Amino acid sequence: MEKQVRLLAEEYESWLDGIPDSLCDSHTAELLTEAIDQLNSAADMIAEITLPLGFGRD
């Protein structure tokens, strides 16, 4: 799941990189930046989860 969240963050970063100059300081760009930050934080939290034995770890 972590990988999928990071891929989604990368896709949002791609959208942000391709945003026209006229929209760089827009609310849309701000929301994309916030979403990217939140997705990266979520991926970090997912990476820290330690599953108990019996969930493909034994």
Where are the domains positioned within the chain?
2-47
**Is the pLDDT at 57 greater than 80, yes or no?**
no
Query: How many angstroms separate the CA atoms of 31 and 52, rounded?
Result: 36
Which residue type is seen at 57? R
Task: Give the pLDDT confidence score for residue 51 in this predicted structure.
Answer: 78
DSSP 17-45: HTS-GGGTTSHHHHHHHHHHHHHHHHHHH
Q: Which of 52, 8, 13, 48 is nearest to 29 (CA)?
A: 13
pTM summary value: 0.82
* Chain segment 2-43, per-residue pLDDT in tens: 999 999 999 999 999 999 999 999 999 999 999 999 999 999
Give which of 49, 16, 50 is closest to 33, Cα–Cα: 16
